[in-house]
Amino acid sequence: MYFPMRSLRNRGYSTLRRYFILKQLRGNLRKLSYEPSSTILGIETSCDDTGCAVVTGKKDVLGESLFSQNVLHLRYGGVNPLIARDLHRENIEQAVSEALEKASINIHGIDAIAVTIKPGLLISLQIGVKYARYLAKTYQKPIIPIHHMEAHALVARMFHKIEFPFLAVLISGGHCLLTLVKDVDNFLLLGHTLDNAPGEVLDKAARRMKLRNIPAYSKLAGGKAIETAAKLSKNPELFSFPIPLVKNRDCNFSFSGIQDTFVRHLLRKECEHNAVGDRIIPEVNDLCAGLQMVIAEHIAHRIERAVMFCTKNNLLKESKTIVVSGGVACNNYIFESLKNVGNLLDCNVLRPPPKVCTDNGIMIAWNGIEKLKKGCQIHDISLDSIDPKAPLGTNIIDKVKEANLYVKVRRLKKLIQ
Ligand code: KG4
Ligand code: ZN
């Protein structure tokens, strides 16, 4: 830990004042050494969910709260940043209080505050960071800065016995990444999306199909509505979707072609049935099934190359694990499809419980515990530490490309009924 002795002197603090400031800092640090009883408050506000949780080193979730804005943003077919920021601001205090109350603990019983500082929407991240800094200053607590995507990957270790290194595929409304997790603070980026994220495509597709007009789906996230509708499909192969990037021998993703094909199918059917206004096409369930299937096929194809690359380069242990996390990992069809393909490759495929796959405070608090345990440097943060576009880990995408590994495309319908 860096003690800012000189900077305090430069700021004109007296010797006595310097002594008390440093004593206080050291006091916080002493509390910061890891113990199984270490208790961390996690705060997440990177997108549209205000999530807080109190988690211990023994993996106990003492209390949690989640103020989801999903229903509101459904109307816009995407997250409206200004509304997201205003709702975080409105809810943050209550979210923290609720998590602490449920944990039957007051803020004095917390050892540190973990908060998401990157990546995400700038004005949403600012609300969480400002509040964490206010709490830290008022109650003399250290802050542990957290990377949102690292937290999505690492939280799986709270629920399953997973050793480093492992592969993680992070699929959500804002991201799509394939990463090798070598340690708590050591990630290699194998691939990322070149355009949209899968959750974004699902949300837009759900809106375009007007699924919100079906009362049972009106309050569901777009991806969840599509999963529910797809289950009712009698003919999941009615609509054909080409798998993207089959000729690119890398682990990158692309979902814009899938979105275009989807819109073409929908327009054709809307025209055929004169489905104007609020009317929904009769083949809606089959279209949902086809869309969901090609998303799973595309992700599986990239995962297969990532496993091949890591195996060739001895980057994974003999017992290979793949973690699937992020909001889209809640989708049972997509998860089971990836699990089937992973198992064919001798990999154990795991995900956190679905409610921990989507954005939440638990994963942030847990990441704080992991960092504490690892002894990662914990430094003070300012609002300048916020990085909305922060990449994940060391980028080795070109190395994967150079390896030029051929992977045969698998059509999933043959694997999953
Ligand atoms: O991880 P997350 O909560 O937020 C981001 O960081 O983006 O993911 C939200 C995304 C949304 O696009 C939502 O439609 C999708 O996760 N999602 C699902 C399901 N539940 C949520 N996608 C597919 N199937 C689901 N069951
Ligand atoms: Zn997320």
Q: Which of 344, 298, 297 has the alpha carbon at shortest distance from 320?
A: 344
High-pLDDT (> 90) share of the chain, %? 85
Give φ, ψ of 122 to 5 degrees. Answer: -50, -50
Is the minimum distance from the CB of 198 to ligand 1 under 6 angstroms? no
Q: Is 27 a residue whose pLDDT tops 50?
A: no
User: In angstroms, what is the span from residue 223 Cα to ligand 1's centroid?
Assistant: 6
Q: Where are the alpha helices (DSSP H) in 192-321?
A: 198-208, 222-231, 256-272, 284-312
Q: From the CA of 149, which ligand is nearest? A: 2
Q: Summarize the confidence of residues 58-81 as an average pLDDT.
A: 86
For the entire predicted model, the pTM comes to 0.91
What are the Cα distances from residue 252, in Å, to 106, 294, 347, 358, 412? 45, 15, 20, 22, 19
Which residue has 């050291």 as its token pair?
A: 26
Q: Summarize the confidence of residues 27-32 as an average pLDDT.
A: 53
Over residues 351-378, the pLDDT tens digits come to: 999 999 999 999 999 999 999 999 987 7
User: In angstroms, what is the span from residue 14 Cα to ligand 2's centroid?
Assistant: 45
Q: Summarize the confidence of residues 128-145 as an average pLDDT.
A: 97
Question: Cβ distance 241 to 181 under 8 Å?
Answer: no
Q: Which of 137, 88, 106 has the alpha carbon at shortest distance from 41?
A: 106
User: In angstroms, what is the span from residue 222 Cα to ligand 2's centroid?
Assistant: 15
User: In angstroms, what is the span from residue 182 Cα to ligand 1's centroid?
Assistant: 26
Q: Is 10 a residue whose pLDDT tops 80?
A: no
Is the minimum distance from the CB of 326 to ligand 1 under 6 angstroms? yes
Measured from the Cα of 328, ligand 1's closest atom is 22
d(CA 166, CA 179): 8
Residue 24 pLDDT grade (very low, low, confident, very high; cuts 50, 70, 90): low
Give φ, ψ of 50 to 5 degrees. Answer: -95, 105
d(CA 130, CA 272): 53
Question: Cβ distance 75 to 203 under 8 Å?
Answer: no
According to the model, what pLDDT value does residue 412 have? 84
Kindly tell me the burial class for residue 352, based on how many C-beta atoms sit within 10 Å of its own C-beta (0-12, 13-18, 19 or more).
Answer: buried
d(CA 84, CA 79): 7
